[in-house]
Amino acid sequence: MVGPSSSHTAGAVRLGNIARQIGRQSFVQVDFFLHGSFAQTYKGHGTDRALLGGILGFAPDDERIRDVFNYAARQKLDYHFYTRDLGDVHPNTVKIVLTYKMGEKCSIVGSSTGGGNILVTMIDDMEVEFTGQYPTIITRHLDQPGVVARAATKLSEHNINIAFLKVFRQARGSEACMVIETDQDINNYVINELEEVPGINRVIFLTALS
């Protein structure tokens, strides 16, 4: 861990790591909106360096985090830090907005909950809930009968055990999000098969955080 507090550094690095995986690394700009104690102490506690280090793919104990601003400059990554009231959320919460070359955006909201642990609570406009401690599959799919069962069956066919499965939706019959945490890593072949499941529009796989 680099920094005085695991919540403000190790957890922050892991939030950046999650955003990098979800964003698929092709973004050209990242904006960090810091809430609560993150906003109050982010410079003194190294939260800014930790978040940016996570975005660049560094581990929590990577010594390069101390010099992360220079690494970001070498990669020509445009980044900004803002303080923002994000509402009734954990004090150590950040909203990370990734911007791509053509102007598209992707965002996540997550909190550092103590001891280097994190909780991700939103991806774009969809509420979610996962910790990153397990290999995690995230789908965007139609809220209709059979989609969840077909996805679970597909994983079972490959001897993949589901540790936790949660489904989130904005309204009945609209787009929904499935978060599946598993006991095994998922290879690209299985991800491709999940993408072929009727009703599933997108599949993201996140490796377990170190």
pTM score of the predicted model? 0.92
User: Which pLDDT score is estimated for 6?
Assistant: 58
- Domain C-terminal end among 124, 158, 192: 124
170 and 194 co-located in one domain? yes
C-alpha torsion angle, residues 31, 34, 40, 45 (rounded to 10): -70
Q: Which residue is associated with the tokens 């979800």?
A: 22
One domain for residues 109 and 154: no
- Edge to edge, the sheet with strand 162-169 lists 162-169, 175-182, 136-142, 200-206
One domain, residues 49 and 150: no
CA distance 108 to 74: 25
Q: Tell me whether residue 56 is in a domain.
A: yes
Question: Where does the chain have alpha helices with state H?
Answer: 10-23, 36-41, 47-55, 68-74, 147-157, 188-195
Contact 121, 168 (CB under 8 A): no
* Residue ranges of the chain with per-residue pLDDT less than 50: 1, 4
Residue 63: how many other CB atoms lie within 10 Å = 8
Four-point Cα dihedral 12, 14, 106, 72, nearest 10: 70
Place of tokens 């609570």: 121
Q: How many domains does the chain have?
A: 2
**Is the domain of 85 the same as that of 120?**
yes
Pair 150, 85 in one domain: no
Q: Say yes or no: 17 and 109 in one domain.
A: yes
| Residue 119 sits in the same domain as residue 142 | no
Amino acid 41: pLDDT:
87
Which residue range is the domain that position 189 belongs to? 136-206
Instruction: Give the pairing type, strands 29-35 and 78-83.
Output: parallel
* Measured distance between the N- and C-terminal CA atoms of the chain, rounded to whole angstroms: 11
Q: What is the CA radius of gyration of the chain?
A: 17
Distances (CA, A) of 132 to 90, 101, 141, 207: 17, 27, 21, 8
Identify whether 110 is part of a domain: yes
Whether residues 24 and 69 share a domain: the answer is: yes
